[in-house]
């Protein structure tokens, strides 16, 4: 067994000895592609979402120079009809590209040398594995001879962090092109790919870089966090898996959900950050473990880019508003941005935003990522957003102190600044105004929209967190009526009945304004009372 050729199963055995969540049915999806037209697969997902675990698992399953029955016989994949057919039956080429980029970064070598470094490493490993080249062979010719001399057994390529060169050499197009040419030589080569490649599995953060409008390696079937399709359940932990972990370790599931849920895929439902879930369990503490990742510092650069509308969008996201995004034009790299949509799309791939494919919107997924955004806007001096944060904190203080004039004035200001005239009176716009105005809520509250309560649905309700002493807030926004009428609706429809046993005082906040678009000044008014039965 070598480092890169048939590396064996020791790496997966180490993972298996820990609190392993069984994701082995991923193997079945790859088995279905072996020797087929769709045998080239690229699955991209954010950092700390189990990419390397999957690569090590696949290597242990396919590598022909080890026996992995002991690792897989008790796993879900053992129930597959083709389990034995492919188990330890292939020569495997396993590459972690970050190993090569790290070597370059620690020396004076150019990133352009990485393809040659990879070729030399494979050549050496092949020779040490008992294969012998002929004089003048290129690496591809050598690999073809290996296939012929091993009874026609083709290779399965497993490439972890495939996009490391694209990310690390982001300002060196020549280095990127040299690396992509290496991949083309393996996976887009009619003289090599059909005979030498049984299947390929690549994983990384970014989808395959586009060459113009097309993928640079167009034969790969791609599954990203924007469209994971059948690989959705393997992107992270599913809700049922997290519930089982919480029950096993006596951890509160609802708190786990608040901190690390927020991603969602079609036919899968909620998906959690695996690394953060396991860190919270092992450390017995809910915290942001994202900051320990090198991805955290990148957020500072992206949210401070000078694209039209981006500052406002960041404020909306922190306020809990879902924002429209067009993911189609993203070039799948870290430098080619044509506007805020490309920045938002990159943040989806990095895991900072959760994407709703049904509505083409993004949102900040959970408490962990919210903390990263909040920290980042201070570090990059996102002045407009910081100002809104300060105004929001003051608005909460004014609301709790029942300073009606100050509350009305701030809601009016946000309504005018953040809502286009054509949408000024739309119901969804009104809720967005509330969320933007109160957007620092997550320090003390959990926010609910359209909360089923009494005989209707409350517009926006803020329930205080366990460690907060602030009151419950029930907010209703109306137009062309007195502020008291909004309070009357809250009472008449019995909204407080659903939260009266929450154990905190309840403040009812009614805000109204004149919706006449011709009015020179759309004066807002506010009424705040403390609920009593």
Per DSSP, the residues of 268-301 read: TEEEE-HHHHHHHHHHT-----GGGSTHHHHHHH
Structural domain contains residue 1: no
pLDDT of residue 423 exceeding 60, the answer is no
pLDDT interval class at 24 (50, 70, 90): very high
Distance between CA atoms of residues 359 and 206, nearest Å: 22
Residue 173 and residue 301 in one domain = no
Kindly state whether residue 168 falls inside one of the protein's structural domains.
yes
Instruction: Assign 208 to helix, strand or coil.
Output: coil
Together in a domain, 248 and 331: yes
For 217, the domain range is: 10-223
Number of independent structural domains in the chain: 3
pLDDT in tens, 175-189: 999 999 999 999 999
| Per-residue pLDDT tens over the stretch 430-469 | 677 888 888 778 778 888 877 666 565 677 888 888 788 8
As a whole number, mean pLDDT of residues 348-371 equals 92
Q: Which of 331, 348, 381 is the last residue of a domain?
A: 381
Residue 293: pLDDT over 80? no
What's the CATH number where 83 sits?
A: 3.40.50
Q: Dihedral sign, CA of 342, 343, 349, 354?
A: negative
371 with 398, same domain: the answer is no
Query: pLDDT, tens digit, for every residue of 275-291?
Result: 999 999 999 999 888 76
Q: Is residue 228 part of a domain?
A: no
pLDDT of 32: 97
CA distance readout (Å), 522 to 205, 519, 525: 47, 6, 10
Instruction: Write down the residue that tokens 């709703």 correspond to.
Output: 356
**What's the predicted TM-score (pTM) here?**
0.79
CA distances, 442 to each of 258, 465, 467 (Å): 11, 9, 12
Are residues 410 and 369 part of one domain?
A: no
Task: Name the token pair of 266.
Answer: 């079609």
Q: Are residues 442 and 398 in the same domain?
A: yes
% of the chain surpassing 90 pLDDT: 56
Phi, psi of 177, rounded to the nearest 5 degrees: -65, -40
The answer to whether residue 3 sits within a structural domain is: no
DSSP string for residues in 52-110: HHHHHHHHHHHBTTS--HHHHTTSGGGGSTTHHHHTT-BEEEEEEHHHHHHHHHTSS--
Tokens encoding 294: 């090198």
User: How confident is the model over 297-320, as a mean pLDDT?
Assistant: 77
Euclidean distance between CA atoms 84 and 232, whole angstroms: 25
Alpha carbon 213 to chain centroid distance? 24
Q: What is the pLDDT of residues 120-130, one digit of tens each?
A: 999 999 999 88
Higher pLDDT, 213 or 12: 12
Q: Once rounded to an integer, what is the mean pLDDT over residues 17-22?
A: 88
Residues 414 and 351 occupy one common structural domain? no
pLDDT tens string 35-58: 999 999 999 999 889 899 999 999
Shared-domain flag, residues 14 and 126: yes
330 and 463: one domain? Answer: no
DSSP letters for 393-435: HHHHHHHHTT-HHHHHHHHHHHHHHHS-GGGTT-HHHHHHHHH
Asked if residue 19 is part of any domain, the answer here is yes
- Out of 381, 410, 426, pick the residue that ends a domain: 381
Does 417 reside within a domain? yes
Same-domain pairing of 340 and 369:
yes
Same domain as 494, residue 394: yes
Note whether 434 and 512 are same-domain residues: yes
pLDDT of 364 higher than 60: yes
Does a structural domain hold residue 179?
A: yes
Place of tokens 């705040």: 528
| C-alpha closest to that of 273 among 237, 245, 226, 231 | 237
**Domain termination residue (choose one: 196, 223, 250):** 223
Q: Answer yes or no: do 372 and 404 share one domain.
A: no
Per-residue model confidence (pLDDT) at position 198: 97
Whether 43 is covered by a domain: the verdict is: yes
């Amino acid at each position: 067994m070598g480092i890169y050729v048939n590396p064996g199963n020791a790496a997966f055995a180490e993972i298996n000895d820990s609190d392993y969540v069984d994701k082995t049915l991923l193997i079945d999806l790859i088995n279905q592609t072996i020797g087929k037209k769709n045998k080239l697969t690229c699955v991209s997902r954010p950092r700390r979402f189990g990419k390397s675990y999957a690569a090590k698992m696949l290597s242990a399953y396919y590598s022909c120079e080890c026996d992995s029955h002991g690792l897989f016989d008790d796993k879900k994949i053992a129930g597959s009809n083709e389990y034995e057919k492919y188990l330890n039956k292939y020569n495997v080429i396993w590459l972690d590209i970050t190993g090569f980029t790290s070597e370059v970064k620690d020396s004076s070598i150019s990133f352009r040398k990485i393809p040659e470094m990879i070729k030399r490493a494979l050549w050496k490993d092949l020779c040490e594995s008992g294969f012998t080249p002929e004089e003048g062979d290129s690496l591809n010719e050598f690999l073809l001879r290996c296939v012929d001399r091993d009874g026609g057994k083709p290779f399965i390529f497993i490439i972890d962090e495939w996009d490391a060169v694209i990310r690390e050499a982001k300002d060196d197009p020549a280095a990127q092109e040299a690396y992509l040419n290496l991949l083309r030589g393996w996976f887009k080569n009619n003289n090599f790919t059909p005979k030498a490649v049984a299947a390929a599995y690549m994983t990384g953060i970014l989808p395959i870089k586009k060459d113009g409008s097309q993928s640079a390696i167009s034969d790969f079937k791609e599954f990203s966090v924007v469209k994971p399709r059948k690989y959705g359940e393997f992107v992270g932990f599913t809700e049922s898996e997290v519930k089982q972990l919480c029950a096993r370790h006596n951890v509160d599931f609802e708190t786990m959900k608040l901190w690390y849920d927020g991603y969602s895929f079609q036919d899968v439902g909620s998906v959690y950050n695996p690394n953060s879930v396991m860190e919270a369990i092992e450390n017995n503490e809910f915290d942001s473990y994202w900051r320990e990742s090198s991805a955290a510092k990148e957020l500072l650069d992206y949210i401070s880019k000078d694209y039209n509308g981006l500052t406002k969008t960041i404020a909306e996201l922190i306020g809990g508003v879902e924002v429209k995004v067009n993911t189609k034009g993203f070039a799948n790299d870290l430098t080619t941005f044509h506007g805020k949509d490309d920045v938002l799309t990159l943040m989806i791939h990095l895991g900072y935003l959760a994407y709703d494919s049904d509505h083409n919107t993004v949102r900040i997924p959970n408490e962990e990522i919210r903390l990263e955004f909040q920290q980042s806007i201070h570090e990059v001096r996102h002045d407009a957003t910081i100002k809104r944060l300060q105004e929001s904190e003051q608005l909460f203080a004014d609301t709790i102190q029942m300073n009606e004039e100050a509350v009305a004035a701030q809601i009016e200001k946000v309504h005018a600044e953040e809502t286009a005239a054509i949408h000024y009176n739309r119901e969804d716009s009104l809720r967005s105004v509330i969320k933007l105005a109160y957007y620092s809520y997550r320090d003390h509250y959990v926010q609910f929209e359209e909360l089923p309560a009494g005989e209707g649905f409350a517009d926006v309700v803020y329930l205080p967190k366990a460690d907060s002493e602030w009151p419950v807030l029930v907010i209703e926004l109306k137009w062309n009526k007195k502020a008291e009428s909004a309070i009357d609706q809250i009472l008449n429809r019995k909204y407080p009945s659903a939260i009266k046993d929450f154990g905190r005082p309840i403040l009812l906040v009614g805000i109204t304004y004149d919706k006449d678009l011709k009015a020179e000044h759309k004066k807002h008014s506010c009424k705040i009372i403390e609920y009593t039965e």
